[in-house]
């Protein structure tokens, strides 16, 4: 397939690497230092020296007949891209990012006949412009609305599943990850991990987010989140306290507070402001 990826940070680079390795013709849109590196190297390079060739451009050419366009930038960067995506000749446009507002605004902008949404679960980081990633670890399953794309990703070595109620999944995921992001921001630049009191505050935020999702008439998805929400508070607090001591959570702090703020603000809109604990923790 002829595929273009818009957003070549850690997630987009991992997708580009896996899809190129599977034999697809990959073009990536990049800017700044990332554009300079990819232009010079002509490839996504991993920390252990593996190379997968890609073409690199600075903008999406609306006339280019791509089979698939994949967008992996954070949601707060998507709005300026929508006119170009709407005008694009790409057969399918796959959006992949955290969102609480739901998929309908994007479906309306792009057109239902070629719209798809997904969410990646992987471990991926850029280290001096080189990719360190894993896509097949425990719990690492990319969730998609399109069965054909799930097959495409599985054939490229990325475990994938199809979700019929993507809005429930996305909102549940935001409710789950925002306290994790907050834990990372609290602990990233200090020598200590979460205190028990901080973990307790974040558990209250977890509960508030889960209740908001249910208040929007969604079941928590995947089912494991429903199980988490039903655990005693002391158990959830303990999980947060333990997670704050792990490398994957601490590493999230390097991405800063912008996405966390935007997600809490979107939750506040959906809740008409009735999420006091999350708003009090907003970085």
DSSP letters along 77-131, please? GTGGGHHHHHH---SEEEEES--SS-SHHHHHHH-TTTEEEEE---EEEEETTEE
Pick the residue with more confidence: 57 or 254?
A: 57
According to the model, what pLDDT value does residue 75 have?
94
According to the model, what pLDDT value does residue 252 have?
82
What average pLDDT does the chain have?
A: 95
According to the model, what pLDDT value does residue 178 have?
96
According to the model, what pLDDT value does residue 46 have?
98
According to the model, what pLDDT value does residue 124 have?
93
Residue 279 clears pLDDT 90, i.e. is over it: yes
- Tell me what percent of the residues of the chain surpass a pLDDT of 90: 91
pTM of the model: 0.93
For the segment 174-178, the average pLDDT, to the nearest whole number, is 96
State the pLDDT confidence band at 191, using cuts at 50, 70 and 90.
confident
What's the first-to-final CA gap in the chain, in angstroms? 41
According to the model, what pLDDT value does residue 254 have?
79
For the segment 160-185, the average pLDDT, to the nearest whole number, is 96
According to the model, what pLDDT value does residue 117 have?
98
For the segment 166-170, the average pLDDT, to the nearest whole number, is 97
Are the C-beta atoms of residues 72 and 15 closer than 8 Å to each other? yes
Residues 82-99: pLDDT tens digits? 999 999 999 999 999 999
According to the model, what pLDDT value does residue 180 have?
92
According to the model, what pLDDT value does residue 192 have?
82
């Amino acid at each position: 397939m002829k595929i273009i990826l818009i957003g070549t940070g850690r997630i987009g680079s991992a997708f580009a690497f896996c899809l190129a390795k599977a034999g697809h013709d990959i073009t990536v849109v990049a800017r700044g230092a990332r554009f300079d590196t990819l232009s010079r190297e002509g490839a996504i390079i991993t920390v252990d020296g593996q190379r997968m060739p890609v073409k690199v451009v600075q903008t999406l050419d609306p006339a280019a007949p791509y089979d698939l366009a994949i967008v992996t930038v954070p949601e707060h960067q998507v709005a300026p891209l929508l006119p170009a995506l709407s005008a694009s000749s790409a057969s399918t446009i796959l959006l992949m990012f955290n969102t609480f507002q739901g998929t309908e605004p994007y479906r309306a902008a792009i057109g239902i006949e070629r719209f798809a949404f997904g969410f990646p679960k992987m471990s991926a980081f850029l280290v001096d412009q080189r990719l360190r990633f894993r896509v097949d670890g425990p719990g690492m399953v990319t969730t998609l609305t399109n069965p054909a794309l799930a097959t495409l990703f599985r054939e490229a070595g990325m475990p994938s599943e199809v979700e019929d109620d993507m809005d429930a999944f996305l909102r549940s995921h935001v409710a789950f990850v925002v306290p994790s992001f907050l834990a990372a921001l609290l602990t990233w630049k200090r020598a200590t991990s979460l205190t028990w009191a901080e973990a307790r505050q974040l558990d209250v935020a977890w509960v508030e987010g889960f209740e908001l999702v249910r208040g929007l008439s969604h079941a928590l998805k995947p089912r494991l989140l429903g199980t988490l929400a039903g655990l005693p508070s002391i158990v959830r607090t303990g999980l947060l306290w333990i997670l704050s001591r792990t490398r994957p959570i601490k590493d999230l702090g390097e991405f800063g507070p912008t996405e966390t703020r935007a997600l809490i603000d979107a939750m506040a809109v959906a809740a008409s402001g009735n999420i006091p604990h999350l708003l009090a923790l907003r970085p």
